[in-house]
Structure formats: C-alpha cells, structure tokens
Structure 1
C-alpha cells in the first residue's frame, strides 16, 4: 500500500511534471529553432516557467541525477548542457571563417567574422589562465591554427601568415616593399626582418619560419639604405627586360603564372609572375617613367 501510494503521489507526479516541461520545451524549440531558453521565460499556455525548468535540468545533469533516456530526449531537442561551451562553439565557427580568409587566428582586436567580434574573443583567450579547465577548447583552436597563440607578437604572425600564403608556390619570398595583403605591407615586412639588427632579435622559431620561405638576413654590404635602393632599381630593369623578352616570345603579357621564371640571355633568372605582382602592388610608389615602361609593354593597369 505504501509503495503504491508513493508511486501514485510522488513518482507518477514527478514524471507528469517532467513530461509537461519537455512538452513546453518542444513547443519552444519548434517555434524558436533552438533550446536556449532564458531563465525568466514562461511558455504559454499557462504560462509555464520553462526557463527555470531548463535550468533545473542542467543542474540535475551536472549532478549526475538525470537518467540516460531523459538526457537523450532533451538532446534531441537541442538541449545545451553548458552555455559556455555553446558560446565557445559559436565563436569558434566565426574564428574558422576568419582563418579561411586570413590564414591566421592572430586577428586584430577589431576583427569581425560572421557578425562576431572574433578578434577580441581570441585576444581574451590568450590571457593567462583563460583556458584553464578547458583543454578541449585549446585543442580546437590549435586544430584550426597551431600558431593561434604565438610566443611572439600577434602582428608579426599576421604579416608572416599573409606572406606565407602569398608565396605558397614559390621557392622563396621574393617580395618587394609596397606589396600588400589585406592592407599589410608584406614586402616591407620581409625587408625589415632581413636587417641584421632585427634578424638577431627574432626568436629561433621565427627565424625558422622565415628561412622555410627562403628569407635570410641581408649580407653586410646590403644593409645600407642606399645600396638597397640601388639593388631595387636593378631589379626593376631586370624585370622590364624579362617582360619584354616574354612578350617577344609569346606575343602577349598575360596572364603570367605567379610561378613562371624567365631566364635572361646572361643567365639571370627573373620570377616574372612575382615581379609583375610586386609592381602592381606598389603602383602608387612607382615613378611616372617606370609606369610608362610597364604600360608600353602592355600592362594596362600601369596606364590607368
């Protein structure tokens, strides 16, 4: 008799109350498309205190007081047991979208992707202790970008990632100042890091990354700005000669593959595709005489 009384007045009532909450959550998810119920929300008709009921289910789940069948029924409705995990996954999708466009998660703090402040979010996660207790978050970020939290400045990593993508199919990063990617002057980045005083101040891992792109420190005789300008001038003349030779042989000047190398009569190799890209990137800094030479060979953008 006692068992029957308990079953009827306690257990069955509890089951009915749980079923009532599940039904209200089902109505909510069908209407709203998610199961993120605000704590103060009351679901009509009634109104039923659905927000409080959902919070109680989360508490029971964390305490190990919820049966497997109930947990699975709630999960089928899209139940999120941890709101922090849900927010992380939503921001992670935005971070992934940013990486696909910029090849790095070292985004500036103002960066936005999928309408989310991904730059500030990743910056916050770099703070000491931000990932304590969440090794799975750290693993998820590293899966997208192993260098998401480098030991060197994030700005350096942004420039390096842009340079790496720019010269992906090249033997070395032969990029002149003025070539920009996403508004960053990667040519200037190369020139600056090749300077002896800067190179020696880099971490070993930074130098290794640059060397993998074929970037090495300048020899002592090329450290002075005057000699560097002279070398750049000679590079332009060699590029013009290579472009003229290519046009004479093929009858046109494009499109030229970024990987194409033209060999001059004296044996000098000119990466013509990269050279043209460099000139176009620094068009605003070219002298009228140089622009005229480029336009005369058929590069229409030089005459615009």
Structure 2
C-alpha cells in the first residue's frame, strides 16, 4: 500500500486521497523496533489516514532501558519492570522502541475486553488448566525405566546426535500423560505445541506406540489407536488444509475418537480452529506466542458451550511430590502459562490468588469456576480453575500465584497508588474520569486503574491492607455516592446564603458548581413513585429535606423561590411587616416581591393548603378586596360560556392524549407535539351541533398539567393515569 501511494504520486504528481479509517489488526506486530517494515502503518506520509484503529489480543509493551545499559525488556500491560544485565547489548534503544502504551503512536486505549468478561458473555469458551505432573526421566532414571520409550524417525537423526536430538524420554512421558487426560476427560480434538518442528514430528509419529502400550495395559480405558498428524511451516498450504480438515472431521471419517495434531509455529496467530477442545502448552517461547497458542482452543462456535482444557506438562525433580507447588522449583512452565493469561486479564488471576472463604473449590482434582463474593451475573465472575493430580489447598495455590505469577504486580500497584496520591493532592478526591491518563508520558491509565480497584473490592478480591492504603489517599469507592455528597455540600452552602432555601434557578451555580442543574435533576427523580426505577433514594431525599423541607414542592419552584425571598424580607424586618402596604414595585433578592405578594393575597382561593400555611406563617393573608376582584373576573369568564362543547379544556387535552396513546402505545409525546382531535361545537341560538377538527398542543398540555398537578382533582389525575401518564 505504501508503494502504491508512492508510485501514484511519482507518476501523476498528485497524492491519493487519505483513508477514512485504517484498521490495523494484530497491531502488536507494529510494535518493537521502529525500523522494521510493519511500522509503516504509523507513518502518515507513507499511508495517510484520517483515523487509525489498532486491535490486538496480545498488547506488547516495550520498556525503556535502565540507566547503566541494561537490555530492553518486553513485558505485558501489567507494568513489569525491565530487568537486564548491566552492560548488555541494547537492541532497542529508547529512540527506536515503539511501545503500544505510547499514545503519541497508538493513541488512547478506547476499549478493552477482559478474558474473564469474554467468558461470562459467552464469546470464548470457559476453560481450565490441567497440570500434567510427570517424573523427569533425565533426573530420575528409576522412573525412566518404568516408562518404555517409543522409537521413531526424528530421534537423533543428526550424525553427531546433537541439534537434531529430541528428549525422547520426556516426550514419551508427556504422550502417556496426555492420553491419560484424554481418556479421563473424554477429549477428542487436541492441539500440541512444540518448541521445535522436529519434536512436533517425533511426538506425532510415535504417539500411537504409546497408545498401543497403554491399551495393552488397560484396554477398557485407552483406545488401541488414535489419529495423529503434524504440521510444519514447510508443508504446502493445500496439505495443511487437508490435515486440518481430517482433524475437524472427527470420528465419523475413520472411527478414531481421539485426534491430535502437533505443530511448531503453524497453528498460531490468525488460525481459527473452533472445534479444538484442548491444547498441550509447554510454556516455552515468548508470552505473545503462548497467548496465541491458548487462543486456538478458547474460540468456539456461537452457542456451542464447550469447556476447553489447557494441558501443561510439569516435570518433577527427584524427591518432589505432585501438588507441592510451594516447595518445588519445577512448576515454571505453569508460571509461564499463567503469566501469559495475566496479560489477557490480570483481574482473573488476582481473584484466583485470594483464597475463597466458602463455596466451591478452586484447586485440586474437582476444580470449578466460582463466583467471587458480591459479584453478580455478568460481572466478569469467571475464576480460572487449576487442576493438579493431587489436592492443592486454596491457600497454597493463592500463595503460589502471589509469589510466582503476580510478583511484578506489586510494582504496578505501587505506581497506581503513587498516581492516586498525586491526584488526590491536586483535586481532593479520587473521582477520576475513566479515560484519564497520567504520568510523565501520559500513558498510565489512572481512571481505568481506579475503576478496576472498585470492581476488585466489590468482588471481595482485594486484601484489607490495600483497602486501607487506598482509603488513606481519599479513594472514592462509590462514584454516585461521592458525587451526591459533593452536591449536598454545595447545596448546604447555597441554602446558607439564600435563607435556608434550595429553590435555586436551573442556571444557578456556586463556586463553579452547577447547583441549579443538580437540584433540578433530583427534583425530577423525586417526582417518581418511591422505590420505582430511577426514583430518588429515601436517604438522599431525607438529606435534602434536612436542609430545606420544601426543596421539591408540589408547585412550581419559581413560587418557592419568591416565597424564600419574602421570608428573608420578613426575617430582616424582625417579623414586623405590613404586607398590605408593601409597594408593588418592591424587588428583593432579584424577585418582584411587591407584585408577588399582591398576587398571593388576591389569588388565595387558588393556592394549595400548604402554600396558604406557609404564607400565613409570615403574616400574609387573603385580601378581601383583591379576592372580590378575582371572583368577579371568574364570574365574567363563566358567563361567557365554555369555548368547547366538552366539559372543559382539560377534557379536550385528555381526548388528545387518549388518541395519541392508543396510536403510539405510550403517553410521552415530544414537548412540541400537536395532536388533531375532533370536537363538537354547539351553535348559539339554534342549538345545532357540528363536528370540527382542532389542534391540541398535547406536549404543552401535559407539561402544564404536570407543573400544576397539585391543583388537579382526583378525577383529573385518574383520567391522566388511565392513559399511561406515570406521574399522575
């Protein structure tokens, strides 16, 4: 593609249009050395693109060299420290290293799907690790003599017996152990991964000799023959396809139930084998390669529901017993595989490293996936089972993981804690946005790190000492509760400055905090039925009422705001105010207090009982003269007769609502919605009736009805509720 852009520019003198979106799958290939060809995808001048999306299951982080010339180290996203020999050759100096945590190259990380969450969602198969504990023939000759060694092409083919030798005794032991697992678990399709092609070939071509020996000893358990083939990079593509087709065909093709295909660096990245149910992983090679090997058996067809197994051979030394994970140094292949899985999802390994207080077992022969305490459905609750030949206690397994697999997690955790402390010193709380990154190069995902710690604690997987450390730096365990607490503090300050009232305008702010918007949102929640979805919690309602009992009145908030101004005027006058003599032009606290008081005294009959009581407490009473004027005005309106033939305008709105709800299936029109309805008009004099079509502003009708719902009668509320109006 880069050549195409270059040639076009050379031939035509013009550049090709840039790509709208370049998707770089298997993006880890473009990390590492800045000089390798794959990094061309990063260069805008060679392949221009408006946007780039990098995708990978195996992110590669290249750590800078330490002072003193130590070698570069490739680690996982978990933050492993670079470890190297002083003065060693440095193949990737800092200026040439392209690391996937470098935002300048790869941009921000926008989405991550953890392995445990993928299992919970049914996207990949749940799995378990079966530890194949074997006696090392090279260290225990007595054990080697008990394990007959098959012979086949590939063993010592070189004349000098050097590089082409394969460890036939070890491979024979692995063959026997794998066939035993297949027989016990009923595994039919297995992939084995080897460090050398020669070993893959030897393993495959001699597997049936081991099968025959096991069948002779126990014909009821082991088959007399298994299907076994091997693949190498030198094999033609068509041959590979034929072998894989035979592998996936299963028992129906040749009657052989157990099928094993062995390979070296063939069945890795980009190969899809959804029918494979188990893999024998030796734990050798790079972390990226091990992750790719594991991925071959985790894939599954949608809805297949298989359980995958990762078989990891471990050779015990002289005097070592199976399951003695804390005292043996022979379990390093298992450590390598677990470390590779950790690069997929560290939380899954951390959960396994915390002994369960009860419930199912997480170790031993009957290991199971468990739900951590407090984790609900879909909460990424998959915990990796690890099975040994003999029972391994949960505490021993947890200590083994903590000391052998999660050792580098301490450095990563300490780095996160340091960034938390710095954030708290700047902001006063650990309410960190999820996408926020910090650090010298802006590549530490503090928001995600803090969020992961909340999930960790909610799942019961965080040690208490870590909880205490985070509490010391102001950890916010519940973001909604913390944000409510912040808003409540500002609300108390607002009320202190406004006569104890929380009737703030929507656009009001205090100290830069949008108190008006915050209160308006809570009032909307308070309108719903208690305990309903989205309704305001009783504890929060009580906290607000403790500041202002009338923070969410049943009448317009503007009325309450004017009342608060009147109350402040009354307090400032020591309770001695002649409201009747208050000039109409009086303005106080931004409210037209004079006109408002006059309106209340004249419209007394239309006020709710609670409003009258509030006014009376300030000495505001009904004005007989103003009330008489209001009554006369009402009589004139009544004498004019109704403008519609239905009971009143409210009835016309209900008719429009009924028509809308019947058609749309709900009672939530847009605010500007207008509904055409038929109405009956009675002609004056003749009394004749005719039907006319009128347009009802239904959205405005419902909005107005909601704002004055305290004045609606029970029958009116019942009519609205009948047609699906929730607040009624």
- Is 1:36 equivalent to 2:428 in the alignment? no
Aligned counterpart in structure 2 of residue 49 of structure 1, from 429, 442, 445: 445
Distance 1:112 1:161 in 2: 18
Distance 1:38 1:190 in 2: 47
Q: Secondary structure at the match of 2:606?
A: coil
Q: 1:192 is matched with which residue?
A: 599
C-alpha displacement of 1:8? 2.1
The more displaced of 119-128 and 7-16 is 7-16
Aligned counterpart in structure 2 of residue 91 of structure 1, from 475, 487, 494: 487
Q: 2:616 is matched with which residue?
A: 211
Distance 2:473 2:419 in 1: 11
* Number of equivalent positions: 223
Q: Secondary structure at the match of 2:471?
A: helix
Counterparts of 1:90-239 in structure 2, within 5 Å, are 90-103=486-499, 104-127=501-524, 128-129=527-528, 132=535, 134-168=537-571, 169-172=574-577, 174=579, 175-195=582-602, 198-220=603-625, 223=628
Q: Could you say if the C-alpha distance between residues 125 and 170 of structure 1 is closer, same or farther in structure 2, counting changes exceeding 3 Å?
A: same
Q: Deviations over 1:202-258 (max 9, x none)?
A: 111111111111222122488459xxxxxxxxxxxxxxxxxxxxxxxxxxxxxxxxx
Task: Answer whether contact 2:508 2:516 (CA < 8 A) is retained.
Answer: yes
- Is 1:8 equivalent to 2:403 in the alignment? yes
Q: Deviations over 1:129-181 (max 9, x none)?
A: 49636333222211211100001111111111111111122245533322211
Q: Could you say if the C-alpha distance between residues 39 and 142 of structure 1 is closer, same or farther in structure 2, counting changes exceeding 3 Å?
A: same
Task: Answer whether contact 1:94 1:116 (CA < 8 A) is retained.
Answer: yes
Q: Could you say if the C-alpha distance between residues 63 and 171 of structure 1 is closer, same or farther in structure 2, counting changes exceeding 3 Å?
A: farther
Q: 1:66 is matched with which residue?
A: 462
Q: TM-score, normalised by structure 2?
A: 0.28
Distance 1:218 1:123 in 2: 33
Q: Could you say if the C-alpha distance between residues 82 and 173 of structure 1 is closer, same or farther in structure 2, counting changes exceeding 3 Å?
A: farther
Distance 1:84 1:204 in 2: 36
Task: Answer whether contact 2:419 2:438 (CA < 8 A) is retained.
Answer: no
Q: Secondary structure at the match of 2:623?
A: coil
Distance 1:82 1:147 in 2: 28
State the structure with more CA Rg: 2
C-alpha displacement of 1:66? 2.6
C-alpha displacement of 1:28? 4.1
C-alpha displacement of 1:7? 4.8
Distance 1:32 1:107 in 2: 26
- Is 1:76 equivalent to 2:76 in the alignment? no
Distance 1:145 1:75 in 2: 32
- Which one has the bigger strand percentage? 2
Task: Answer whether contact 1:97 1:114 (CA < 8 A) is retained.
Answer: no
Q: 1:241 is matched with which residue?
A: none
Distance 2:443 2:585 in 1: 64
Task: Answer whether contact 1:24 1:50 (CA < 8 A) is retained.
Answer: yes
Task: Answer whether contact 1:112 1:119 (CA < 8 A) is retained.
Answer: yes
Distance 1:215 1:32 in 2: 47
Q: 1:249 is matched with which residue?
A: none
- The two structures, once aligned, show a CA RMSD in angstroms of 2.9
Q: Could you say if the C-alpha distance between residues 64 and 182 of structure 1 is closer, same or farther in structure 2, counting changes exceeding 3 Å?
A: same
Task: Answer whether contact 1:172 1:215 (CA < 8 A) is retained.
Answer: no
Distance 2:595 2:626 in 1: 19
Q: TM-score, normalised by structure 1?
A: 0.63
Task: Answer whether contact 2:604 2:627 (CA < 8 A) is retained.
Answer: no
Q: Secondary structure at the match of 2:509?
A: coil
C-alpha displacement of 1:73? 1.4
C-alpha displacement of 1:71? 1.6
Structure 1 portions without partners, runs of 5+: 226-304
Q: Secondary structure at the match of 1:85?
A: helix
C-alpha displacement of 1:11? 6.0
Distance 2:440 2:414 in 1: 15
Q: Deviations over 1:189-210 (max 9, x none)?
A: 2211111xx1111111111111
Q: Could you say if the C-alpha distance between residues 203 and 64 of structure 1 is closer, same or farther in structure 2, counting changes exceeding 3 Å?
A: farther
Q: Secondary structure at the match of 2:403?
A: helix
Structure 2 portions without partners, runs of 5+: 1-323, 328-399, 631-728
